[in-house]
């Protein structure tokens, strides 16, 4: 990549990090998308400042040839669109070629979740013989009790926990803070876990969840732990950390919790994101309706 192109991309990524508070993961994805875009421009002999709406439309056909799903196309285009908005704000270009470009609609997938009985089966399958077994049970229970994202879970520090109020301060997407709450089951697990914490904490960490080396556990580490738990019980579903978050949201709504409260607990910036869970709860309503209505589904 040409040096001046690399420079403008780096400056834009710094802007996202320090001015927009984007996460490191999002910035890395934007970097890869922009590098891909600039390679395409170089191949076509086009300078980024000379791109017009018509040129963009031709370039976007490239994404069609890659057979990307809508979500990936949206991310690619979003990265480039944000870049041109930045160029306009900084006065580097006068006219934004993206002013007439709209992102493709993303297909909404219903979230996969576990029933309460399935969760109990998983939780109770863990025999607690070592401090690490206790940690693994705490991970599972915390994900379901609080609905935090796995990255938020691994970033919890001891100083974030208010034991008297059974709450945890979470630093979520965009550096936004919120408070989540945990139940008495987690309270008891947490109490037992902290008794052995110094035994696990070999390197003076302040993070709540530690790995076998006494270091900050990664999100990949959490996924590995959950996979190992599921393998041991021959569970018939693939379970991810995010499914526990989906399960909490679904169960709260099924039990009468309002949408705004669920939005706040999950840390969604838009209630439309939370609204996808209502599709799941409506499925439950339909089942009850068909079972209870005199003219519901025919009974054998």
DSSP the chain: --HHHHHHHHHHHHHHHHTS---HHHHHHHHHHHHHHHHHHHHHT--GGG--HHHHHHHTHHHHHTT--HHHHHHHHHHHHHHHHHHHHTTS-SS-GGGG--PPPPPPPPPP---HHHHHHHHHH----SHHHHHHHHHHHHHHHH---HHHHHT-BGGGEETTTTEEEEE-GGG-EEEEE--HHHHHHHHHHHHSHHHH-TT---BSSB-TTSSBPPHHHHHHHHHHHHHHTT-SS---HHHHHHHHHHHHHHTT--HHHHHHHHT-SSHHHHHHHHHHHHHHHHHHHHHHSTTSSPP-
Q: Is the pTM of this model over 0.75?
A: no
Mention the CATH class of domain 116-290: mainly alpha
149 flagged as catalytic: yes
- Say which of 76, 81, 245, 251 is annotated catalytic: 245
pLDDT value at 291 more than 90? no
242 flagged as catalytic: yes
Higher pLDDT, 114 or 283: 114
- Say which of 268, 295, 298, 299 is annotated catalytic: 268
Give the domain ranges of the chain: 3-100, 116-290
- Say which of 173, 178, 181, 197 is annotated catalytic: 173
Most confident of 36-40, 98-102, 109-113, 266-270: 36-40
Residue 280 pLDDT? 62
* Longest distance between any two alpha carbons in the chain, whole Å: 73
CA-based nearest residue to 190, from 152, 135, 145: 135
The CATH-assigned architecture of domain 3-100 is: Orthogonal Bundle (1.10)
Fold match between domain 3-100 and domain 116-290:
no
- Say which of 76, 135, 149, 246 is annotated catalytic: 149
pLDDT value at 6 more than 60? yes
173 flagged as catalytic: yes
Higher pLDDT, 130 or 292: 130
268 flagged as catalytic: yes
Report DSSP letters for 151-218, one per residue.
Answer: HHHHT-BGGGEETTTTEEEEE-GGG-EEEEE--HHHHHHHHHHHHSHHHH-TT---BSSB-TTSSBPP
Most confident of 2-11, 33-42, 161-170, 267-276: 161-170
Mean pLDDT of 172-184: 87
Residue range 80-89, pLDDT digits in tens: 889 999 999 9
What is the percent of the chain with per-residue pLDDT over 70, rounded to a whole number? 83
């Amino acid at each position: 990549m040409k040096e001046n192109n690399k420079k403008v991309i780096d400056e834009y990524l710094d802007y996202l990090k320090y001015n927009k508070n984007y996460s490191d993961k999002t910035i890395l994805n934007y970097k890869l998308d922009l590098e891909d875009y600039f390679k395409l421009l170089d191949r076509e002999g086009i300078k980024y400042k000379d791109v017009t709406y018509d040129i963009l439309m031709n370039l976007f056909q490239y994404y069609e040839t890659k057979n990307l799903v809508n979500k990936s196309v949206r991310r690619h285009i979003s990265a480039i669109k944000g870049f041109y908005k930045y160029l306009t704000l900084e006065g580097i270009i006068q006219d934004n070629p993206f002013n007439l470009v709209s992102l493709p609609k993303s297909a909404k997938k219903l979230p996969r979740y576990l029933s309460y009985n399935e969760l109990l089966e998983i939780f109770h399958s863990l025999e607690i013989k070592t401090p690490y077994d206790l940690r693994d049970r705490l991970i599972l229970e915390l994900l379901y009790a609080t609905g935090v994202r796995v990255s938020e879970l691994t970033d919890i520090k001891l100083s974030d926990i208010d034991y008297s109020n059974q709450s945890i301060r979470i630093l979520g997407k965009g550096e936004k803070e919120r408070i989540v709450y945990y139940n008495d089951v987690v309270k008891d697990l947490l109490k037992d876990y902290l008794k052995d914490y110094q035994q696990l904490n070999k390197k003076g960490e302040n993070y709540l969840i530690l790995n076998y080396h006494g270091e900050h556990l990664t999100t990949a580490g959490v996924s590995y732990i959950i996979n190992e738990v599921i393998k041991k019980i021959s569970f018939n579903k693939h379970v991810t950390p995010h499914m526990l978050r989906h399960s909490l949201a679904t169960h709260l709504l099924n039990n009468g919790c309002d949408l705004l409260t669920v939005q706040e607990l999950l840390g969604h910036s838009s209630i439309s994101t939370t609204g996808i869970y209502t599709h799941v709860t409506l499925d439950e309503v339909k089942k009850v309706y068909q079972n209870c209505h005199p003219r519901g589904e025919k009974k054998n």
